[in-house]
Structure 1
């Protein structure tokens, strides 16, 4: 739930920004955020995963604090290089007209990366209160300050972006107080080598994940302009809530799984958690697909032409299933200290995504970008599934789980066609709301099965 603070606040804030900024400025802000995501991946360099393993399995708290200090140095260096070279890469990304938004987005990098690694350590220590306060300051408070500045300068995406700079700087100071990073022990035998062995392949995977998840916005920005990016982003936001929740859950589970030393026990927990997550997704995907026409019309003004964005939201929702497979496989590989296959699989998916975006955006527009993401995510899941099965790290899924996932995707696709057949969108919205009891039942069922493992 702590990891999900950012998701909840983004879901609430995005409609406000869409109405306040319009498609053009909202699209420019979305592109700047996508840029910030790639810079954070480079700045973190996989240290958020490495610090958990270091704390739980290797040198303990002392080594973890040293990794925090090193991550602060790397984050500052990455931010400085990005600022100095901004004149060279902004024209390539089609952001020359939006440098006022780009500058604060770049300045988010160092504090965001440092806070992310500190949050990972707090999670590994099970310090829930400190974790929640720091996460709130870095996410919710950042967006609230941005809205205050936006109120002072209506219609300015740059004003909102500077709010993030202020709050993230404060969050970085608090992170230092809570975690007390130190450079003592930086020459300790094996410390940096272990961190690099885990972190660098994960950083490559993170960069590839950025290409997989965010390059579509930059390609849209380059070819179709900020307005189409804004339209795509609002539909993507509605659909990606589920995908981000899966990532947040995976991050929260990493520390617990790394603490299980019995490999057989860890494998059983991994398989159970994966299959139950798929079961929970069934009502979520169907419910949000049915509710998408109404939800999109509420979160965005008419200028976004939301009726044509429903297929985008559905396709983004579908990526939740391969994401469950991928995140489960990644957890297994990280715990086994085999992070290279993660980098290879995501790199393959990322290259495929770029190629598919180039091919599909022309004829299909924003729907083509979403379709490219689905196919590439599926390819990543297949690669990771094949490797983990081959290495004996992958528990077999129940046949009914696989069939239920396929049936849900088909049923959601059928729901897309109902408005064109004359079914009222409010009736569909009611069908989506009716999935809530099913969702609650699936969670309770997962809890009962978890206790039995």
Structure 2
């Protein structure tokens, strides 16, 4: 690597770890507020009403994929890779029309498709889930445009309604007005709709010219393969709970859900980080420079991953204990959480390949690999869960993400992304060993104290590594 190349890489990495990461923090605020409000919401609503909310959220997640058609990524690609801000605004208008059409279709056909799901008895929450998804898809595409324009203040305004207002208003409505699922969902739809309207007003989509054939053809060829990829990711992340419920019990599903929610947090944050970073990679025209920037971002995440693994290994059981009552027996879930946590390592590896492929527009490859990994995950769960229970489901997740990385590498040999340095691979190996070792600790007052100390030390370690990375890129 020449001096100029090294300087370019440091410049990209400095922006990825600096201003670009601010967007990740803003995306993550909705997760933080949801996590803080969830224990309160479950207690106010009760099991039955919260179950209805959960079903509506599942509908929201599926409809969101089709209402968005991954056009938010196409907007960012059009803006940065094709240097076409007007085309990005026109695509935003297209995406808003698609979201409205899919929402209307989902609303009107709800009596037909809700029956096989066992939800036809009460269409109110079903239709509210559809409305929530449509508003969320509209918000997502306007946020994508604002992110590409690097309008941080406007981005903050929209995410404020989508995160803080949505969770606080929904909680306040069920606490002070009426503790029902429909009240909660109406509040969520209202806040999400306000976020979407705010995004539209700030992003100012270009209605004229949204039907341009060349623009739509380019956008759809890029975005449509991402739809089955997103659905496969959804299946990869949820099929284990369906199989646990079928082969074990509802109680086992609840226990696994708690363990998974806590231990999968690094992967969730990495997904958000990918959304925040992609405009940077779209904007790098030179393939060699882009591959080097992707590798630099991956290796920086690996270095940060080591203290993150340590921190979650020590702290995840403590968080699970606080989130769930004693009947969940979270003290028996340490190994399950460790396996889910370790999936963040191959997840980071495959994320770098996906970033490079997406920047090239090779979304079909990403879709094919994700579908294959999702199918493998289902098969492994069917095989492992009857034998090893919850640990088998967690192990299937780890293997599925490792396989996803290997499949992507097989499909994309020409990418030639620079390999991770040996010293970083050695650090990761130590982090993996530490995670498994901490999971084996018995639950005693002494080890609980050790977990608190270890978690605090890991946080300090993380901050020191982050400071070192910023110094290296200064």
TM-score by length of 2: 0.87
For the pair 1:57 / 2:81, whether they are aligned, the reply is: yes
| Stretch of structure 1 that moved more, 48-57 or 95-104 | 95-104
Distance 1:324 1:43 in 2: 27
| Stretch of structure 1 that moved more, 283-292 or 219-228 | 219-228
For the pair 1:48 / 2:75, whether they are aligned, the reply is: no
Distance 1:301 1:41 in 2: 34
Deviation of the 1:294 alpha carbon: 1.8
Over 3 Å counting, the alpha-carbon distance change for 1:426 and 1:433 in structure 2 is same
For the pair 1:447 / 2:470, whether they are aligned, the reply is: yes
Q: Is the 8 A contact 1:42 1:207 kept in 2?
A: no
Aligned to 1:117: 141
Aligned to 2:12: none
Counterparts of 1:112-191 in structure 2, within 5 Å, are 112-152=136-176, 156-191=180-215
Aligned to 2:307: 283
For the pair 1:238 / 2:232, whether they are aligned, the reply is: no
TM-score by length of 1: 0.91
Distance 1:140 1:118 in 2: 18
Structure 2 unmatched runs, 5+: 1-24
Q: Is the 8 A contact 1:142 1:168 kept in 2?
A: yes
Q: 1:426 aligns with which of 430, 449, 456?
A: 449
Aligned to 2:431: 408
Distance 2:43 2:334 in 1: 18
Distance 1:90 1:304 in 2: 31
Q: Is the 8 A contact 2:311 2:455 kept in 1?
A: yes
Aligned residues: 450
Aligned to 2:353: 329
Q: Is the 8 A contact 1:38 1:207 kept in 2?
A: yes
Q: Is the 8 A contact 1:48 1:117 kept in 2?
A: yes
Aligned to 1:253: 277
Distance 2:296 2:102 in 1: 39
Aligned to 1:436: 459
Over 3 Å counting, the alpha-carbon distance change for 1:414 and 1:87 in structure 2 is farther
Q: 2:58 aligns with which of 34, 56, 61?
A: 34
Deviation of the 1:414 alpha carbon: 1.7
Counterparts of 1:338-349 in structure 2, within 5 Å, are 338-349=362-373
For the pair 1:3 / 2:3, whether they are aligned, the reply is: no
Q: Is the 8 A contact 1:208 1:350 kept in 2?
A: yes
Aligned to 1:196: 220
Q: 1:105 aligns with which of 115, 129, 139?
A: 129
Distance 1:151 1:78 in 2: 32
Distance 1:278 1:349 in 2: 22
Give 3-state SS (helix, strand or coil) of 1:195's partner: helix
Deviations 1:386-426 (A, max 9, x none): 333x1134121112222322332232112111125885323
Over 3 Å counting, the alpha-carbon distance change for 1:416 and 1:233 in structure 2 is same
Over 3 Å counting, the alpha-carbon distance change for 1:221 and 1:121 in structure 2 is farther
Counterparts of 1:341-380 in structure 2, within 5 Å, are 341-380=365-404
Deviation of the 1:274 alpha carbon: 0.2
Aligned to 2:338: 314
Structure 1 unmatched runs, 5+: none
Over 3 Å counting, the alpha-carbon distance change for 1:8 and 1:422 in structure 2 is closer
Deviations 1:149-201 (A, max 9, x none): 22146764443333211101111111110112233213424100110111011
For the pair 1:417 / 2:417, whether they are aligned, the reply is: no
Q: Is the 8 A contact 2:52 2:125 kept in 1?
A: yes
Deviation of the 1:137 alpha carbon: 0.7
Aligned to 1:271: 295
Give 3-state SS (helix, strand or coil) of 1:4's partner: helix
Distance 1:98 1:310 in 2: 39
